[in-house]
Amino acid sequence: MSEEVETPVEETNEECNNGKQSKEKTVSYPLKVIYCPECSLPLEFCEFMPETVQVKCREWRENNLDILEQEGLEISSLTLDEPSGDKKRQKRGGRGNLKAKQKKEPEVIKIAKIPRGKRKFMTRVQGLATFDVNMKKASKLFAQKFSCGSTVSAPDEILIQGDVTDDLIDIILETWNEIDENHIQDLGEVKR
């Protein structure tokens, strides 16, 4: 059974108003599937997320209509609001209900100076992971910038050898745009 024949038939059946799109899609592989940045699923599956997440998905769609249009997607075919479906949805717990993911901790980056002996220090950074920063890469970056040792010592903690607090704040702000000065908290000298 040849695949070129099979796919377009199925896709056009499934969504008539997206006919053009699916024909273009079948021409070149890999296909580009757009994932919702809020729930990470393909856009058509947002509707199966728990209510709390769906609110965010909906919000993102409203704010990013232009992007969706650029990709040639018709938002109308991916609506979230379904009056009839809502009634059927199980409201109380049960197996079919997905749970919302746990909320992230408050997003504060804590920088502390830890003494080692009398005049040497380590710098400890906590909270970078709440910003979805790749810890290993961040640690590597710090080690390179400060030419010193740096390690991921706990799931959300980086230890840097030497007192680099001031430079560190600059570098964090520079490399990750989503991090603001207000997010960073300098704890000063802390006993370990």
Partner 1 sequence: MFRKFDENENVSSTNQIKSSVQRQIRATILQQMPKIEPYLQDIWPKKESARVMKCHEHIEILTVGEECLFFKQRDSPWYPTLKLLHKYPFILPKQKVDRGAIKFVLSGANIMCPGLTSPGADLNMDTIDDSAVAVHAEGKVNALAIGHMKMSPQKISEVNKGIGIDTVHYLNDGLWHLKIVK
Short-list 156, 37, 154, CA closest to 108: 156
Give the count of residues interacting with partner 1 (CB under 8 A). 30
Short-list 21, 1, 22, CA closest to 11: 22
Window contacting partner 1 (CB under 8 A); options: 33-41, 141-149, 158-166, 179-187: 33-41
Distances (CA, A) of 144 to 108, 116, 165, 182: 24, 22, 15, 25
Tell me whether residue 12 or residue 162 sits nearer to partner 1 (CB atom). Answer: 12
Give the Cα separation of 48 and 57 in Å (integer): 11
Angle, in degrees to the nearest 10, between helices 165-175 and 135-146: 130
> Do residues 111 and 168 lie in contact, with contact meaning Cβ atoms separated by under 8 Å?
yes
Task: State which of positions 104-163 bind partner 1 (CB under 8 A).
Answer: 134-137, 155
Binding mask 74-113 for partner 1 (x = CB under 8 A): ---------------------xxxx---------------
Window contacting partner 1 (CB under 8 A); options: 35-43, 110-118, 122-130, 167-175: 35-43
Contacting residues toward partner 1, per CB under 8 A: 1, 3, 6-7, 10-11, 14-15, 22, 29-33, 39-42, 44-45, 48, 95-98, 134-137, 155
